[in-house]
Amino acid sequence: MQPIYIYLENGTFLEAKSFGSCGTSVGEIVFNTSMTGYQEIVTDPSYAGQFVTFTMPEIGNVGCNAEDMESKAAWCKGIIVRQYQDVPSNFRSEEPLHELLKRFGVLGICDIDTRFLTKMVREEGAMMMIASTEVSEKEKLAEMLKNAPHISEVNYIKEVSTKEPYIHKSGHYDAMRYCYNDASEPKAKIVALDFGIKRNILNELTQAGMEVEVVPNSVDADELISRFKSGDIDGVFLSNGPGDPLILKDEQEKIKKLIEAKVPMFGICLGHQLLSIAHGYETYKLKFGHHGGNHPVKNRATGAVEITAQNHNYNVPDEITEIADVTHTNLFDGTIEGVKYKDSPIMSVQHHPESSPGPHESRYIFNEFLKMIQR
């Protein structure tokens, strides 16, 4: 391991050890409270442009494998851990975490007080930072960070979205057979707009009984409307993804057209936020966001409390209740977690019902989407 130097926009300067890729990266620091599933987090496209601080103190102990990839790459700028375990101990492991990080150019930072960083982010909010194995001078790092673009100015969707359409084939992972279930006979067909979609979202959609065609974010809205009106597809799914939804003007206009055409839609995370903006209700940024697998969410219809997986820095405003019914509420801070629009066949949630990692208490939401498009 070699030294790595960190400078945060609040002036904090730290030295740690590097175990991933070498180089210099700029991004936004957030923290994640999940106790398992570091590979799923690292390969979640929603973390593009961010450094993820793990509150779980030891990371790397189960290694990595191809089956647990949430996408085709690792997208975050880097990960920050208290202690990195270089020798994995798990029968499913195919490579250590540092090899995955090196392959995709992701910095790994260890031997650092992650409790200190987490408390700082909680108190001061998510902020930009720079980390480097090449530059050690505080003043030079500060200047480089100052001149780098802010995460709110960068459109990462173009990087993480698929370039070609494809049909997703697999369903749930079968822990008894150590493989993914094949797709069952579909009851409906949907198009999934890929803003940085997670593999396990696609698995849940397929498992619920939908044929899923994944298309690039650049797909033309008129094409989707035409396919819906002809009966070729029954609805559209709007995926999760990275960055500030307010800068995604093309996606907003596309969704506006789908809304006007009364195309049934379901959005998760970024898709949820873009639906709000397209309806005229701009999102706002949370102080340090929700990132982890332990967030209690109340189902307003049943009264049940679901422990959910979350990963977002932005939220829809309370004013959206003018046009939508709130279906789910976050019990940590009272923010809106899910809505159904009053005059449209549209539903969305802020949390991640596919989990991965996290509990599966909210996966019924995929079945609700199927019921909606079958009406």
Active site residues: 269, 352, 354
Dihedrals φ, ψ of 275, to 5°?
Answer: -65, -40
∠ CA 274-43-98, nearest 5°, is 150
Alpha-carbon distances of 100 from 26, 94, 108, rounded to whole Å: 19, 10, 10
What would you report as the CA-atom Rg of the chain, rounded to the nearest whole angstrom? 20
What does 290-324 look like in DSSP terms, one character per residue?
Answer: EEEEEEEEEETTT--EEEEEEEEEEE--GGGGGTE
193: alpha, beta or left? (left if phi > 0; alpha if psi -120 to 50): beta
Helical segments of the chain, H only: 38-42, 97-103, 114-124, 138-147, 157-160, 199-207, 221-229, 249-260, 270-278, 364-374
In terms of DSSP bridges, do strands 235-238 and 188-194 run parallel, antiparallel, or are they unpaired?
parallel
CB 336 within 8 A of CB 71: no
Residue 343 β-bridge partners: none
Q: How far apart are CA 53 and CA 201, in angstroms?
A: 24
Dihedrals φ, ψ of 304, to 5°?
Answer: -70, 145
| Number of residues that this document lists for the chain | 375
CB 241 within 8 A of CB 160: yes
Query: For residue 309, what are the contacts with CB-CB under 8 A and spacing of at least 6?
Result: 34, 292, 293, 295, 351, 352, 354, 355, 356, 357, 358, 359
Three-class SS of 236-292: EEECCCCCCHHHCHHHHHHHHHHHHCCCCEEEECHHHHHHHHHCCCCCEEEEEEEEE
